[in-house]
Chains A and B, each alone.
Chain A
Amino acid sequence: MLKFILVKLAQALVSVFGASIIVFLLARASGDPVNLMVSANATTEEIESLRATLGLDRSLLEQYLTFLSHALRGDFGQSIHYHRPAIDVVMSSVGATLMLGSIAFLVTVLLAVPAGVYAAARRDGRFDRCVRGLAAAAQALPSPWVGTLLILLFSVTLGVLPTSGSQGWQSFILPVTTLVIFSIAGLLRLTRSSMLETLGTEYVRFARVKGVSERAVLWRHAFRNASLSVLTLGALVLLSMLSGSIIVETVFGWPGIGRAVVQAVNQRDFPVVQVIVLFMSVAYIMGNFVVDVLYACLNPRIRSA
């Protein structure tokens, strides 16, 4: 098991490394930052000296190594718009996103997994068809639209919930709902299909011929195995939450990194964009790694190896 985890860790580190290269190249491709930093009437000497201070006159590889060594120390440069370290700008909004994301993730899992399991248990029954219909609808609902309509209904028309901001528990309701609608369909379908797969196996049949009750067959025999694939691909749900949070935070004016990245792009504040992209991909890669470790702990084949 240790070997399995080490291999996965190595893979995760390679992925992080790859992501850092992409982020670096994108930042370079996004144009010469010097043009944004100097005033319009700067002389060529001034520009050149700034380039030299920023290290832009060196080779791409050298620049990347500098970028990497700075990044490892948490130094991503100054935010062009806020005139303070980009990392600080991002860190001040990470909390809001994590809060929103984790609540939405929890709600998604608590709704999608049991619904998927019971839908599979009574395949093509009334509950199954109902759940499948709702999932299909949820998948087709564009979240900017859902968010806007929710605001229209609950904030503008009924006036019971705030339109934006993150003050008090009421302000969580609409963003969380939007995010859950955004991500629930995938997890639900996945749970249902892996349950259907395990319910068709010989060991489930064997449990039935042993007289095990349907409930125990469902949870102890089938779900225990299905949960492994649900877990693995559950990481993708987390990822889609990150994507979803960009939209949701924009719609609801939520002070998280999703909104921050959109603002930073509009303000052409690349150091901030860089940090956020890197943060999001590292979060996803590490999330995946944690899932792999959990998988190893739950799967006896790997645990005992």
Chain B
Amino acid sequence: MPVLRYRKVLEVLRGAKAFLNLEAGVTHGTVSEPTRTDPDGRSAGGIAPENMIWIFGTGRTGSTWLAAMMEEPEGHKVWFEPRVGTVFDPQRFQRHGGKHFILASQYKDVWLRSIRNFILDGANARFPELAGGYLAVKEPGGSVGAGLIMEALPESGMVLLIRDPRDVVASWLDATRKGGWQTRRRGEDGRRAESLAETNPNAFVRRHADAYLHHVGSARRAYDAHRGRKVVVRYEDLRADTLRTMKRMYGELAVPVDEARLVQAVEKHSWENIPQEEKGQGKFYRKATPQAWREDLTRHQVKTVERITAPLLEEFYPTGPAEQEG
């Protein structure tokens, strides 16, 4: 029988099935139901929203390292960059107003519930084994939507992961230069591998400082607005005393962890335990040295980053601009 005829038969059967589902309410119980929220907005099964921990900030702040350590305890998993925050980036729709726009403020309660289901359904589909466990969502690249996500999931915990913007920009500069890991990855993806880091490094620095301000600024505002459990973690503190910082983080988030297991996780993912050949210039694991920007950036580039990211730099790294630090 030609495929076309099969399709026709299937269409007819699909119609009959739709009729049964819609008109008679027949269910078969063979497909896992998507997570729904009960009238109080709580999850009715699967991963509990209060057991989700969102990591926001920006790229190159040690979020992969932090997430790797968070995945070690029993019953803990990591959702690695779902980018859900980017889908609901409010800036994309700034110009759209009025009651007709799907994300119109007048109907926020309606669409926030959909965003919540969008996330919870996605989490449960990917981590069906995790019911009752903890899910860390590593989402630095989706920080622009952090505000909406935390509003949709107010019971969830939030980590605002911060790193000196000068080191962040220096790290990106290294990653996207010729031979850098990001450049190689783009080439493998078939995307344009040529980088602004090579052709115009100062413009590259400006662009990434802007991105830092946009991403971390959005995450910062979400952090302020979030009434639930939350904690600021500085990359520099993680590097200086990883175990202590991890314990503080879990304490603030009120997540119970076995200390011996945490010690193992910290040890397993320590800088010293990364093979030597995987570390160095142009590699994903580069220096892990706070303030390495002093060697990596030109004076002009440092000034550019300091000027653009001033509000965040002053708040989290208050020692002042480079000249004053000597």
The answer to whether A and B belong to the same complex is no
Interface of A toward B, CB cutoff 8 Å: none
